[in-house]
Amino acid sequence: MNQPPRFAVVSGVQVRGVLQGREDVVTRIVESAYRLHGTAQTINPDSYFLRFPQRPADRIIALPASAGGHVNVHGIKWISSFPDNTEHGLPRASAVTILNDPETGYPFACIEGSIISAARTAASAALAAMQLSTRRGSVPRRVGFVGAGLIARYIHTYLERNGFVFDEVGVHDTLPDNAERFRRYLERTRSAPGRVYADVDSLLRASDLVVFATVTGSPHVTDPALFQHNPLVLHVSLRDLAPEIILSAFNVVDDIDHCLKAGTSPHLAEQRAGNRDFIAGTLYDVVTDNLEIPADRPVIFSPFGLGVLDLAVARYVYDELAGEGVLHEIVDFFDELKRYG
């Protein structure tokens, strides 16, 4: 090693500058990461949850991962979820992503991770919506959002930037002010007309594409009849749907082992059924055209969220900034680089 290891800190402003307006590019990056994962070119261990007995709603999660192929990086996302932040005007989640050199193991970047996390989550949802709707032969025209936070905003943006055109965007939130703010956001962006729904049931019945982006910890939607019109459901927040709904639907996940744990709705369905037969396949199966998607059943995509997606997007951000020569490097970050002084 002729040169000492280098270390850069990448701010959220820089991350947003790279990703904003490139939603289609980010979606392709996420698709390529799924393809790497589906061909065993990734290492994606279990996520690790740091929980606090006195604050059960709060948690910090570590997602270590390694991506081979063109991504070629190791790393970890360290992301906190503190729902009460929203009452004080702060986003619920904050994060950093660390990238490690695959040859030396040295970390070479610390990147603001919440924007990357939101972008890869939205790109994953948009990719699933595109692939699943195309393969079932119907393009949704009325989308409904359950939960009106930052993730919902990102998913809406990624859906539109990937070609979806909606006649109406419905929104419901347990905090009516949030739903109204989301509706006004739609007005500012000159999107399809926004409509606030006072209850979840009415929104579900009116939507052929449903996005769950809440912070709930347990199922609050329990009636399978609400899905009898066979919508496409992006179950991003993972814990909104009762096992009866999961078991009555056609289910696609990002990774079966990851998704069926930690009290997710598919995990509860597995406990109820005693098997995993209700899982039809993964998003990789969909993008490689190895899964036939029915038009006569509700289709639910439940993504646990893979650390390799964060690495792929973070690597893209780093490479773009490095190519522009605008990385903020800390030249003396590493010390004691000579074993014997």
Query: Percent of the chain scored above 70 by pLDDT?
Result: 99
| CB burial readout 134-143, b (16+ within 10 A) else e | ebbeeebebb
pLDDT at 2 over 90: no
The C-alpha atoms of residue 320 and residue 331 are separated, in whole angstroms, by: 20
Could you give the maximum distance between any two Cα atoms of the chain, in Å? 71
Tokens of 4: 């000492």
Q: Which residues of the chain are in CATH 3.30.1780.10 domains?
A: 8-116+307-329
Burial pattern 81-113, b for ≥16 Cβ within 10 A else e, equals bbbeeeeeeeebbbbbbbbbbeeeebbbbbbbb
| pLDDT of 341 strictly over 80 | no
**d(Cα 282, Cα 43) in Å, to the nearest integer?**
17
Q: Give the pair of three-digit tokens for residue 232.
A: 């496409």
* 247 confidence band (pLDDT: 50, 70, 90): very high
What pLDDT score was predicted for residue 316? 98
Name the CATH superfamily for 121-302.
Answer: NAD(P)-binding Rossmann-like Domain (3.40.50.720)
Provide the token pair at 54: 């006195």
* Range list for CATH 3.40.50.720 in the chain: 121-302
10 Å Cβ neighbour count for 336? 6
- Is domain 8-116+307-329 classified as CATH 3.10.129.10? no
Half-sphere exposure of residue 47: CA atoms within 13 angstroms, side-chain side: 24
Distance of alpha carbon 184 from alpha carbon 261, whole angstroms: 37
- What's the whole-model pTM score? 0.94
Tokens of 239: 């814990």
